[in-house]
Homo-oligomer: A and B are copies of this chain.
Amino acid sequence: MARRSMREEILESGVELFLERGFNAAAVKDITDRAGVPKGSFYNHFESKEALGAVALERYGERLRMADLADRTVPPVERVRRHFEFLRGDQPKFSQGCMFGNFGAEIVDHSEPLRLRVKDGWGNWVQLLAEAIAQGQAEGQIRASLDPQQTARYLTSAWEGALLQARTDKSGEAFEAFFAVTFDALLA
């Protein structure tokens, strides 16, 4: 396998550290140390930590396999469940946050370009879930009285909050509550 480029090493280390520590606590030097490259090399590849943040958000979004939410060959409720199961699988030790949630808590008041990227990414997530919910309603699997957009937004909120709780408790209880209430009560 070819050795990854220095830019790629920096980007991957950035994604890891933004997930583990958030944006503010991940210093450029921490990122280059993790990547095993000299600190000065950072600025050959990224103009600023903010610029890295934008690319890292994009890379993180790709990793979340959002496209699976739009896969109409899988029944809609099952698609939504698999999506969140996949996200839970990404948190084996409850030690990482979600980059949207981490950035949402930390930087939205300080960096307008990053805020807009987080907003767009989150909005896209809500849209995909809303479409799956609407399809589930059309097929009679999800109760018709729910507003798909609001319910989708609510699910993303409940997921992000569950992540915070799981990290705080170092326990999967909040995820269990998420799955039980979402699939046995709210959508059922």
A145 at the interface (CB under 8 A from B): yes
**For chain A, what secondary structure do more than half of its interface residues adopt (helix, strand, loop), or is it mixed?**
helix
A156, A164, A176: most-surrounded residue (chain B CB, <10 A): A164
Question: How many angstroms from the CA of A76 to the CA of B62 in the assembled complex?
Answer: 43
User: Residue-by-residue, is A160-188 near B (CB-CB < 8 Å gives 1, otherwise 0)?
Assistant: 11101101111001101110111011100
The reply to whether B165 and A122 contact each other, CB–CB distance below 8 Å, is yes
Question: How many angstroms from the CA of A161 to the CA of B159 in the assembled complex?
Answer: 7
Q: Residue on B with the closest CB to A121?
A: B168
Stoichiometry (number of copies): 2
Question: How many angstroms from the CA of A59 to the CA of B10 in the assembled complex?
Answer: 40
In the A-B complex, list the 9 residue pairs whose CB atoms are closest, starting with the nearest.
Answer: A157-B161, A160-B161, A161-B161, A104-B164, A150-B177, A153-B177, A154-B181, A158-B158, A157-B162
Sample of 13 more A-B contacts, CB < 8 Å, known A104-B168, A153-B165, A154-B181: A22-B105, A24-B106, A100-B168, A102-B105, A115-B168, A143-B185, A145-B185, A150-B177, A150-B180, A154-B158, A154-B162, A157-B161, A157-B178
27 contacts between A and B (CB under 8 A): A21-B109, A22-B106, A95-B109, A97-B105, A101-B161, A102-B105, A102-B106, A108-B168, A145-B185, A146-B181, A146-B185, A150-B177, A150-B180, A151-B177, A151-B185, A153-B165, A153-B173, A153-B174, A156-B161, A156-B165, A157-B161, A157-B165, A158-B161, A160-B160, A160-B164, A161-B161, A186-B186
